[in-house]
Structure formats: C-alpha cells, structure tokens
Amino acid sequence: MAARITASLTFLQHILAEVLRPGDLAVDATVGNGHDTALLARLVGPSGLVHGFDVQAEAIESAGRLLAAVGLAERVRLYALGHERLAEVLPQADHGRAAAVVFNLGYLPGGDETRVTRPETTLAALEASRKILAPGGVIALACYGGHSGGAEETQAVAAWCRSLPFAGWRVARYELINKPGGPIVAFIAHKLQGGASTQNASGVSLATD
Ligand SMILES: C[S@@+](CC[C@H](N)C(=O)[O-])C[C@H]1O[C@@H](n2cnc3c(N)ncnc32)[C@H](O)[C@@H]1O
C-alpha cells in the first residue's frame, strides 16, 4: 500500500525517499491517521525507528490501528503529546540523530477542525527539531493556507525557515499555487554536514548550492 504525505504533495515523498535509509531515525510531528508515519516507517525499514506525536488521543489510536494493520507498529513509538515537547520526550541518545522530522500542518481531514496546529507550538517544535536533527538531515513541512489561521502559520514557518543561517542550512520552498481553497506550501530545510558538506545522515549526496 502506498503511503502518502498528502495527495498533492508527492514532492515531499520524493525528497524523503531520497534522504531516508534503512536504520535511520525519523520523527512524524503530526501523526493524524498515520499515513505519513507509515511512509516514514517503510523508509527506515525494520532496523529503523520513527517517533510520532499528536495532541489528539483519537489520532494516535487511529494511527496505531493503521500501523498494526500494515505490520509497521514495531518500528514506531507513538506519543499523545504536542510536538513542541519532542526534544524533551526523545531519549537523549536520539538527539542529533534524526534523519528527518516531518510536519503535515493544519487539521486532520475528517476530524475535529478546531484542533489545528498553531504558530506558537509549531515554531517551538521547529526549534526542538533543530536539536534532534542529524547533520545532513531534513525538516519537511506541508503548510495549508485554506483554514482559519493557516495563512498566518505558513508565514510564521516561512519566516523561521528564512532565519536559518545559509552557512549551515539550505531551505527550499515548493508551492501548489492553483489549488482551490488556498495554496499548499512545502518547505524542506536541509541541515548541512559540518556546515558545508554535501551528504546527508545516510551518506546520500544532496546539492548545496
Ligand atoms: C494535517 S493533520 C496530519 C495528517 C497526518 N500526517 C496523516 O497522515 O494522516 C494535522 C495533525 O496535527 C495534529 N496537531 C495539532 N496540534 C499539534 C501539536 N501541537 N503537536 C502535535 N500534533 C498536533 C492534529 O491533531 C492533526 O491530527
């Protein structure tokens, strides 16, 4: 079964498939129904590990069912907690080891539309992600402008991404500009190895110019 980031953002899937390797550590910061978690779990393989966060216990339960159904539950640890707590929750040994941290922002389609991600906690989680990211790792975000507060959150994420120093980071933005109901914007923040190397945590070469 093919997992998805969102039907419209296969772009992020391609990047993650390029970056993640068997044995890697990854974080799904917004688990929802677990589709993205399943994608990450597949990419890191049986020797890898995915930590997943969501504030809604129902989402964690739903994701747990999906992961069990597709035989991926053993490589995933799920937390019914806000992603802003991820650095405090992850074992110290995993700090600096995550090859990817993934955010699919907004609300859970088909769920409670008032339980949206919010700029304050998203920005706190992005700062926490910096602490746990491996050199060569990526932070991948999908942002939605169509719901209340979505445009402001996209702007806050864009400003955070822009503030990352060029000496150690490369950040790309990809936008679906013709989507009815508001744009979808993806950001990929790539933390360079040693500030200038071209390889990710798994030794995959990435362009740095
Ligand atoms: C667009 S959905 C994620 C979709 C999910 N990745 C999937 O594959 O089904 C956004 C999710 O973020 C969750 N969320 C909202 N605030 C959060 C927070 N502070 N920390 C973690 N998750 C949060 C919501 O409960 C919702 O499930």
The predicted-structure confidence for 2-37, as pLDDT tens digits, reads as follows 344 454 478 899 999 999 999 999 999 999 999 999
CA distance 11 to 58: 28
Distance 135 CA to ligand 1 centre (A): 26
**pLDDT over 90 for what percent of the chain?**
76
Q: Give the burial string for 123-161 (b: 16+ CB within 10 Å, else e).
A: bbbbebbbebbbebbbbbbbbbbebebbbebbebbbebb
How confident is the model at residue 206, as a pLDDT? Answer: 52
**Could you give the strand order of the β-sheet that contains 98-104, starting from the edge strand earlier in sequence?**
76-79, 49-53, 25-28, 98-104, 133-144, 184-191, 169-176
Is there a contact between 4 and 35 (Cβ–Cβ < 8 Å)? yes
Average pLDDT over residues 66-88: 98
CA distance 145 to 180: 11
Q: Which atom of ligand 1 is nearest to the CA of 142?
A: 1
| Per-residue pLDDT tens over the stretch 29-67 | 999 999 999 999 999 999 999 999 999 999 999 999 999
Average pLDDT over residues 114-138: 96
Is there a contact between 40 and 20 (Cβ–Cβ < 8 Å)? yes
Is there a contact between 84 and 31 (Cβ–Cβ < 8 Å)? no
For the chain, which domains are there?
Answer: 10-195 (3.40.50.150)
Distance 54 CA to ligand 1 centre (A): 5
Nearest to 66 by CA among 42, 45, 47, 101: 42
CA distance 91 to 132: 10
Matching residue, tokens 């772009």: 11
Which residues have CB under 8 Å from 209's CB, separation 6+?
A: none
How confident is the model at residue 174, as a pLDDT? Answer: 94
Amino acid at 122: T
Q: Which atom of ligand 1 is nearest to the CA of 29?
A: 21
CA distance 166 to 153: 23
Within 6 A (CB) of ligand 1 lie: 30-36, 53-56, 59, 82-84, 104, 106-108, 115, 117, 121
How confident is the model at residue 195, as a pLDDT? Answer: 58
Distance 16 CA to ligand 1 centre (A): 19
